[in-house]
């Protein structure tokens, strides 16, 4: 295998092992928490953080998986990067829906 392939595979493994950083909410999400019913505010904050962690984790895993598959399939550096980008988009979409459970879905639907 080419050196670039091994490098891409190592980079993919490093991305999968890295921690996902999603510890804070943005301004729009903080406003949503503030608009929520007082008894639901903690639940809304928790559910928004969980959804954000799911999106971020899906993005990292998708990018690493796509780049790894591209590298192992013998693609060039550009092809591996393109596969990583496509994997990141797909992982973000999948992680967005998988980050919360049905209880969070109900809380977030009650507090738009």
The phi, psi pair for 79, rounded to 5°, reads -65, -40
Q: How many whole angstroms separate alpha carbon 80 and alpha carbon 97?
A: 26
Question: Quick one: DSSP state of residue 74?
Answer: T
Q: Where are the domains of the chain?
A: 24-110
pLDDT score at 17: 47
pLDDT score at 22: 47
pLDDT score at 39: 92
Below-70 pLDDT ranges, the chain: 1-23
Supply the mean pLDDT for the chain.
Answer: 80
């Amino acid at each position: 295998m080419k050196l670039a392939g091994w490098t891409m595979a190592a980079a993919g493994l490093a991305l999968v092992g890295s921690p996902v950083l999603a510890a804070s909410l943005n301004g729009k999400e903080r406003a949503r928490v503030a608009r929520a019913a007082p008894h639901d505010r903690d639940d809304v904050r928790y559910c928004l953080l969980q959804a954000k962690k799911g999106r971020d984790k899906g993005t990292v895993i998708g990018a690493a998986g796509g780049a790894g598959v591209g590298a192992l399939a013998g693609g060039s550096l550009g092809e591996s990067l393109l596969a990583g980008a496509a994997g990141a988009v797909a992982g973000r979409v999948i992680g967005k829906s998988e980050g919360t459970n049905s209880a969070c879905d109900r809380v977030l639907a009650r507090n738009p």
